[in-house]
Structure 1
Amino acid sequence: MSGGLDAELVALRRRLHAVPEVGLHLPRTRDALVGELAGLPVELVEGSRCTSVTAVLRGARPGPTVLLRSDMDGLPLTERTGLPYAAPAGTMHACGHDLHMAALVGAARLLSARSADLAGTVVLAFQPGEEGHGGARAMIEDGLLDVSGERPAAAYALHAIADLPHGVVHGRPGPVMAGYSVLEAEVVGLGAHGGRPHEGADPVPVAAAIVTALYTYVDRRFDAFDPVVLTVGQLQGGAAPNVVPDTVTLRAGVRSFGRETTERVARELPALVEGIAAAHGIAARVTWRRVMEPTVNDPVSADLLAGEARALLGDDRYVTLEHPRTGSEDFSEILARVPGAFAYMGAAARGTDPGAGVAGNHAPTALFDDSVVGDMARLLGALALRHLTAPTDPRASAGRDEGER
């Protein structure tokens, strides 16, 4: 790929970085993407449940559908990078979604130039609301997986990481990111004077017993090689030191890596909380909210992605992760329905030691070296071409075929 297109994608990323939006409704971001896709031989479909943009690129011959996805939303952070194109106070692209959008626009351009060679269809999905707002589910409900006329045969996404080595792709078969759920419990007692606690039903020691039991339960009842990571991040009750409160509320974030384990914790942890409260003669009102499913890579698709990354970028620029990362990602909604793979692209500055205090994603000081965006575009394009063309050399890809590397 020419340096000209690389420069255009970097410039696009910086324009998007300067105007982040949060949540499911991102009108400025949507309009910018629609403008970038104008003139390409794609069918544009906009969402009704959110401001998503889907571009459908049909090849010259029939064949399978491949889905490529980028997220669009920023975070409610005030940026402290000092960049000349830094966002105004209050919102920031602190998770690299601006790079993802630019890379997918680049893949759209590369693949559009090869549409005559394609036997099948590419669906390019630009998704709002990834940061815990249910954007993937909203797009699926809007018909994303049927927009080409048939269910995708494969789906892929890349994620920039500010504190991973520059330009190195990291992936693995099986679980690659955790599922995330929230347990909330209101422990309901009966208030009383602090000097006469026997006249009430004190929820505080019951809540304390629940917290201890939750930590013990996930440590002793789940396999260490399929772990559950639980954090009680909120514990609130009472307004004065000499008053027994009526209620205590606790909230816990729960992360799990296997789909069966995710189902199991959703059943067992609420029952544990309710049982402890009942044993003390009071009630607990428990809710369980599944925010994101585990992100689980199809092994065949993960191997294909690894092969394309090595062929396109070099053997030294692909690393197999030993363990999943403990963050969460709602591309999991797509991978629960379509075989595919999700991988990371390191975006630390060249020559930076990522272990030396480099800020990671979601930090207000996170810095992404956007010179990786061209390689992200090439890799996404190569993955689609791998499914939709039948080259003599199965390692062939868009960039190499055009002599761009």
Structure 2
Amino acid sequence: MTTPLTDDPRFTGLREAAHALQPRTVALRRLLHRHPEQGLELPRTQAAVLDALAGLDLRITTGEQLGSVVAVLDGGRPGPAVLLRGDMDALPLQEDTGLAYASEVDGSMHACGHDTHTAMLASAARLLHDRREDLAGQVVFMFQPGEEGYHGAKHMLEEGLLDAADAPIEKAFAIHITSKEESGVLRCRPGPLMASANMFTITVTGRGGHASMPSDACDPVPAAAAMVGALQTVVTRRISVFEPAVLTIARISAGTTSNIIPETAEMQGTLRTLSEQSRKTMLDEIHKVCEHVAAAHSCTVSFDFTPGYPVTVNDDDVADRVLDLADAVLGPRHSSRMPNPIMGAEDWSYVLERVPGAMAFLGACTPGTTPADAAPNHSNRVVFDEAAFPHGVAAYAAFALDVLR
């Protein structure tokens, strides 16, 4: 007979232990928040992580081509390995929160909460270190730079992340904080969790001229404007309503002044889907629609597509287990099954293509604010409730203890 998770002695006092580490978690988070770094090279952040792990019996390596940290904890007995991830990079954004520990770096902010992920994972490493005799196997702690568009997880995989442990990595788990959910609630779902992403630039070329004589020119601006509406029709008429797709034209640029018809107009945007087939269909249709609309306006068109992250797909069994663990360790009120995916993208998807695993969202809406009214991730005003951190630390630790029975 299987022991109920609530009666499993390995989880006894786990949340309390995470609460005891809260001063460390908050101190590291605030240090990182004051000094955000972007991209793949994060020297100050990397040094802070190494300092936070100092004194623990871990095998630590740093990245060769990026500022990553990989730490391996040996359990009390042989067994498989489990991977836990926290990303570390910030966003190009000017912070306007008014926090006492707000960013001190102009134009850079931890607006997606990666500072919280790093701090929670470092505390989880300390918590699991204290309980390493309960682990039958190894825990690989993945501190990752370059999640915000730099494919950091892919680079870490190429540098041998999955070979860091002596045994194969059996399961993988990551947490992402969100201001749009109740504080302390862990949310997860089996299957697609987050969308794939493609960035694109569309350049429409006509023939420049005087604004008073458009008939003597070939204006690319009306052609570009017509493409915007036509592309939205592709989503509603070529993609099944049961296969979400989001196409956004986020920037249009043309011309230099009011009395000149420009030669070119440029559009930039993103495409997000929850299946590779929808992604392929949409990319084909973008080409087709834009070429025909351009021809109707006597213009030509060129495309520059940048492949983004794949669909983030949670393993069904792992996602269900994460929810069971949250229910047992954090309490039923703090475990919630997500009904639908979200259309943001994540480079954790690269890991989940290789290892059965999951990502879960940790709510951190601040007191006195409703999730609906909270500034969202990637906002210059987003704030996360630090009281949620022990739940993230405990969830990381519970997952490792559960896999390495």
Deviation for aligned residue 1:100:
0.7
The number of equivalent residue pairs is 388
Q: Aligned ranges for residues 50-129 of structure 1 at < 5 Å?
A: 50-88=66-104, 89-129=106-146
Picking from 30, 42, 54, the partner of 1:14 is 30
Taking structure 1 as the reference length, the TM-score comes to 0.90
Does the alignment pair 1:340 with 2:318?
no
CA contact (8 A) 1:69 1:125 kept: yes
Q: Aligned ranges for residues 74-223 of structure 1 at < 5 Å?
A: 74-88=90-104, 89-149=106-166, 151-223=168-240
Deviation for aligned residue 1:238:
2.1
CA contact (8 A) 2:234 2:282 kept: no
Picking from 43, 51, 68, the partner of 1:35 is 51
**SS across alignment from 1:239:** coil
Residue type of the partner of 1:42?
L
Partner in structure 1 of residue 5 of structure 2 = none
Residue type of the partner of 1:273?
C
Deviation for aligned residue 1:127:
0.6
Task: Summarize the Cα distance change of 1:81–1:203 in structure 2 as closer, same or farther, 3 Å threshold.
Answer: closer
- Superposed CA offset, 1:172-212 (max 9, x none): 11121222211211112222334444444332232223222
Partner in structure 2 of residue 367 of structure 1 = 383
Partner in structure 2 of residue 283 of structure 1 = 300
Partner in structure 1 of residue 337 of structure 2 = 320
- Superposed CA offset, 1:282-321 (max 9, x none): 4211011122222221111110111111010111111111
Within 1, Cα distance between the matches of 2:377 and 2:132? 35
Taking structure 2 as the reference length, the TM-score comes to 0.90
Within 2, Cα distance between the matches of 1:166 and 1:335? 26
Partner in structure 2 of residue 303 of structure 1 = 320
Does the alignment pair 1:383 with 2:399?
yes
Query: After TM superposition, what 4+ stretches of structure 1 lie above 6 angstroms from structure 2?
Result: none
CA contact (8 A) 1:13 1:370 kept: no
**SS across alignment from 2:333:** helix
Task: Summarize the Cα distance change of 1:282–1:351 in structure 2 as closer, same or farther, 3 Å threshold.
Answer: closer
Within 2, Cα distance between the matches of 1:157 and 1:300? 15
CA contact (8 A) 2:120 2:389 kept: yes
Q: Identity percentage over the alignment?
A: 43
Deviation for aligned residue 1:116:
2.6
Residue type of the partner of 1:18?
R
Within 1, Cα distance between the matches of 2:343 and 2:395? 24
